[in-house]
Structures are given as C-alpha cells and as structure tokens.
Chains A and B, each alone.
Chain A
Amino acid sequence: SQQGEEDPQALSIQEGENATMNCSYKTSINNLQWYRQNSGRGLVHLILIRSNEREKHSGRLRVTLDTSKKSSSLLITASRAADTASYFCATDAGDDKIIFGKGTRLHILP
C-alpha cells in the first residue's frame, strides 16, 4: 500500500525556473525522505528530514515538513535539464518499512 502521495503527478517547467513538489501522508512518521529516479533506474537519496525538523536545505534543494498537516514539499531552485526525473517521497513510521508514494514526474524544458 502507498503511504505518501505526491502532487502533482507530472510537472513541466522551463530550465532556470523553480520546481515545487508536494507529498501528503497518512500516519505519524519518524522521518520523511525524498528520492530521485532517472528513467526507471535506481533511486538516489536526496534529503532526509526528521519529524522534529521543519526545514532542511541541500544545495539547490529545500525540503519542508509540516507534521500537523502530514505534508512535505520539495523545492528545486534554478532547475537544470539534469533535474528531469521522477521524484518520490518516502516515509518511515518507525516500523523500519520505508513506504513510497507514486512519484512526481518532472520534465525540464530547454
């Protein structure tokens, strides 16, 4: 079963613009992670944010977490062609099962 649900399902933006993806989940979590996947290959870990954190940055990535709304957002600033990929949020409810959403397919237009 899916825990997280990303929104939108697909997103196309011009290179250089910012991209924002959202994730909503259903149950309480210990942490939430964002992953990137290129063309059906392995997932690359981007950021882990713990339930007691509200915001985290890594390079051009900014992740927020609102546990009261059970939601998270991933912002990619100054997008590049190489950012074209599927992005997944994954939640850990403390039972050591990392549960993924269905993903947002991001396409950066030249």
Chain B
Amino acid sequence: DAGVTQSPTHLIKTRGQQVTLRCSPKSGHDTVSWYQQALGQGPQFIFQYYEEEERQRGNFPDRFSGHQFPNYSSELNVNALLLGDSALYLCASSLGVGFPSTEAFFGQGTRLTVV
C-alpha cells in the first residue's frame, strides 16, 4: 500500500516564476491538505481539498492555489515566486472531513528553493 507520494522531491526556481507541486494521497483517502514548512519552523497550513473543492484556507496569499482531481490527487500552484517561498512543502492525506478527525499521513515533501 503506497503512502502519500509527492513530486518532485527537489526543485529550484527563479524569482517570479511559477511552480506546480503534485501529491497522490494514501490509498483510500479522499482529503488532501498542503503545508509550508520554513527551516526550523513547524508546518503552516495552506489549504485543504475535499471533493475537488477547497474547504479550508490558511493565511496565504492568492498566489497560492490548488486543485484536486477526481482520483483525489492534488496540485499546489504558486505564482510569482518570491525568495520567501523557499521551503519544504508537505502534503497530507486523510479520510473524510469533520469530527471525529482521523490521523493525517504525510508525504516526504518537496524542497523548493527560489533563487
């Protein structure tokens, strides 16, 4: 049973460019959440997708957008990259939404470096 898979594992982009990160959830999971983790910090919630719709969003600008496909996989898009967007981007999958919440399983992350 494959866990959460993310691609690519590493990425270097130039300031101002756009980037797309991909995530395949754990088998049987239908909810995908994205997190940004700066060096030495805890993960920060970006947004969550369920039934192909964005259900929740953290304090991130509109440059951060996403999509969920019918097979529950998801993409995170970041436009007009800034140096401060350099971070580890983590995808987490879980089953369903609402109480009681279940544990979330994380992928290994995509390390994005903006130069």
Contacts and interface: CB of A to CB of B under 8 A. Distances in A.
Whether A associates with B in a native complex is yes
A100 B42 contact: yes
A110 B34 CA distance: 36
B105 A45 contact: yes
Nearest to A4: B42
Nearest to A1: B59
B63 interface: no
Interface string B66-110: 000000000000000000000010101000011111111111110
A73 interface: no
A44 B43 CA distance: 13
Interface string A26-49: 000011010100001111110010
A50 B90 contact: no
B104 A98 contact: yes
B90 A43 contact: yes
Contacts of B37: 40
Interface of B: 4, 31, 33, 35, 37, 39, 41-45, 48, 55-56, 58-59, 88, 90, 92, 97-109, 111
Interface of A: 1-2, 4, 30-31, 33, 35, 40-45, 48, 50, 88, 92, 94-103
